[in-house]
Structure 1
């Protein structure tokens, strides 16, 4: 090859390499620019004192419907490409960070219920409303230490401690000092929440269940200029019943509820209560169905199922009365102990011994309850009142018809025809159970209606998408400097977020 041609070809090759490098460099810069300008995921923090019991059953923490809903919604949002999910919860005095799939779990004693405290007292404080952080473990260690001391020293220590408590009670009996001490406690707790929320760095903070902590959370979110969302778990949250039953904690709770950037209800009846008591509109975002839709033959369904905590307002003994009056039917009762009324479980166990047609289970892992619903031909609810029971959704997803003594949120059983309600009439309640047990065809129709209802109204992906959009609008409003901009259409009972 002539030297001139070689030089020309080599020059073209070098120029091509340079052009390629410049194009690749330009694309890299463009990709970096796109990444820099792409919106970052919305970081949502759910706050729940006992939801850790669902992720780590070995923790021994009691769980209920509120925890199931938070965990179900968090798991669904974690799959959303534009969301990051953090759960703030507690496990005694532990301070730690863990991961459950795509969910970050933050453990803090600030919002924890100690299993040891639950076991010893039979009652759960609302996220340690009145106890200092770590006080349960300190008190337990103190008792152990005093128990190992010589008798005379143990007597002196106990006398000093009792004297201190007596002096404290006397000082706090003075109204001015009592008021001042309360304000100091509120200030300390607010600073603790402020430090904790700042470390999480979420765009939106969400909690569920009434407690004094709602007031602290809302105050801190206001200081951080972050939206605060309260999710109604029960009618008593917004009817005034919680405030009347818990005046001190209720004052802080209601302050946070009134100032929340958004109140999310489970159904239109709760939204009506919010409008009546607080003169503001609320969102209606339906509950996530915590179980997949299942199909099972009618012939395989043979039991009558009851699942609930043994709280007095859930009336577990009304179910035992039903068991005694239907001796030819097979019943299953899942009854975890009440956190506030432990004596009820002891009474139930005494009665269970006399009922040969009842299978009694005190504790069942949440995942295992799906099998019980599949095997049940009827699910019964004996509560006086509830929010929107997760058990209704679990039963409907398995094609199991429902008989409710009183609970019928927003008339859902009548409107969608997947269950029957006795409206608080005990004789009628028994008649309805007998009717369903004797009519396979009716149970089949109601079961199919239940599956259809869950499929159309409680699809996890749809509900999570609605919730994410609400949080995104709230976050944008705060970034723009507008507080509480995300509001339902005034006067619309179901709100713009309802499916």
Structure 2
């Protein structure tokens, strides 16, 4: 394998559901991006492999000439840490990739960084959220090793130090936003390169006319940080509008059950649960608007870009994306107000012209700034340089 086409191995427990037809509910935006990036890099001549969770048992399989090693035990907690490390070590050593790529998984990244030093390989780390770089939020970062509160508090500083040391030891750190890059540099003196998420575009003739769209859509994990309850608060103010909510339950059972119970009691809301990545596009496509309730500064998220792929307007509750959503007329911003969110939803419903304008502006913005081809160009240059 020449220097221009190194072997890249993605390490992700949950990416398996994007690579197979299995009905697994644990994957999200980070896993979808690794799946899409792997496809794009393979198209460019890179050798691609994945180390995933042990769905269906430990083993190896090949899909479209891509090797998948199901090597990471899915059990959580401190008792399973050594099994994860050993499974990951064996897989990384056997695959013998030039570069190992990790995004978002804190524990796997710590392990992979240590292993990469042992086997003399390169590692690339991608910061997936503000929570994994901002000092005040790192103190509360969930590492999942202990359910006992006292043990969590005891081990949190140790995990934080191990994590930051691993970030500093990575051969290349990539952030999704300038904010994340700035925090890494100013707080920890760690340099990084910004590469946002990327998507391809469906054909223009796949875009539905506003008259063919049926409802307002929300998608994400049913967790407090995604604020599905706020989406339901807005829907409650608009009994004549139809709403669809999609997403897996997440790790907060009491909150999740409360949200599902509320949605089930509402005549104008349909909760469809987890939707496979291969079919969720149809829901974005048929939507009059995508309702973005996540409170974040982490740039344009996967669901926002999924909406723009199909010229679906975005109505954002908490983030105006540094003013871009208003300046470029990409959608509507509610400035944290549920009442204003409901007003914006109603305004879109009453105006096919606004649906068209905001939706197509968003699609054009995606094509200009987040196309998979341009993201692939950035990664091709970075990964080739990492190998040297």
TM-score class, shorter-chain normalisation, is 0.7 to 0.9
- Residue 74 of structure 2 is matched in structure 1 by 113
Q: Is the 8 A contact 1:129 1:212 kept in 2?
A: no
Change (3 A) 1:412 1:72: farther
Gap runs ≥5 in structure 1: 1-35, 115-124, 135-187, 477-499
The count of aligned residue pairs is 370
Aligned equivalents of 1:213, 1:284: Cα separation in 2: 22
State the partner residue of 2:229.
317
The alpha carbon displacement at 1:253 in A equals: 1.8
Match for residue 131 of structure 1 among 65, 75, 80: 80
User: Counterpart of 1:131 in 2: which secondary structure?
Assistant: helix
1:95 to 41, 58, 69: 58
Query: In the alignment, is residue 457 of structure 1 matched against residue 352 of structure 2?
Result: no
Asked if 1:199 is matched to 2:94, the reply is yes
CA deviations 1:307-364 (Å, max 9, x no partner) are 11100111111111111110111111113101x2022222123222321111210121
What secondary structure sits across from 1:355 in the alignment?
Answer: coil
Q: What is residue 297 of structure 1 aligned with on the other side?
A: 209
Per-residue CA deviations over 1:17-71 (Å, capped at 9, x if unaligned) read xxxxxxxxxxxxxxxxxxx9x6573100110011112223425351111111111
1:244-393 paired onto structure 2 within 5 Å: 244-246=140-142, 247=156, 248-289=158-199, 292=202, 294-338=206-250, 340-385=251-296, 387=298, 388-393=300-305
Helix, strand or coil at the partner of 2:306: helix
Once residues 192 and 332 of structure 1 are traced to their aligned partners in structure 2, the CA distance between those partners, rounded to angstroms, is 40
1:60 aligned to 2:24? Answer: yes
In the aligned structure 1, how far is the partner of 2:129 from the partner of 2:239?
A: 34
Return the offset for 1:408.
3.9
Scaled by the length of structure 1, the TM-score of the pair is 0.69
What is the CA–CA distance in structure 2 between the aligned matches of 1:415 and 1:238, rounded to whole Å?
28
Residue pair 2:5, 2:384 contacting (<8 A) in 1 also: no
TM-score (norm 2): 0.88
Return the structure number with greater strand share: 2
Whether contact under 8 Å (2:131, 2:141) holds in the other structure is no
SS at match of 2:22: helix
Per-residue deviation, 1:461 = 2.3
CA distance in 1, matches of 2:237, 2:321: 28
Partner in structure 1 of residue 382 of structure 2: 470
Is contact 1:232–1:263 with CA below 8 Å preserved after alignment?
yes
Distance 2:371 2:227 in 1: 30
**CA–CA distance in structure 1, aligned partners of residues 334 and 100 of structure 2:** 39
Mapping of 1:167-182 within 5 angstroms? none
Displacement, 1:463? 1.2
Report the equivalent of 2:149.
none
Provide the C-alpha distance between the structure 1 equivalents of 2:297 and 2:59, rounded to a whole number of angstroms: 34
Structure 2 regions of 5+ residues with no counterpart? 143-155
Task: Indicate if the aligned counterparts of 2:14 and 2:52 stay in contact, CA closer than 8 A.
Answer: yes
- When residues 291 and 342 of structure 1 are mapped into structure 2, their CA distance, relative to the original with a 3 A threshold, is farther
Q: Deviations over 1:136-169 (max 9, x none)?
A: xxxxxxxxxxxxxxxxxxxxxxxxxxxxxxxxxx
**Partners of 2:91 and 2:271 in 1: CA distance:** 42
Work out the CA distance in 2 between the residues paired with 1:330 and 1:307.
Answer: 15
Task: Measure the CA separation in 2 of the matches of 1:63 and 1:210.
Answer: 12
User: What is the DSSP-based 3-state SS (H/G/I as helix, E as strand, rest coil) of the residue aligned with 1:281?
Assistant: coil
Residue 402 of structure 1: how far off its partner (Å):
0.3
* CA-based RMSD: 2.3
Contact 2:17–2:27 (CA<8 Å) still a contact in 1? yes
- Of 331, 336, 359, which aligns to 1:419? 331
- Matched with 2:111 is 216
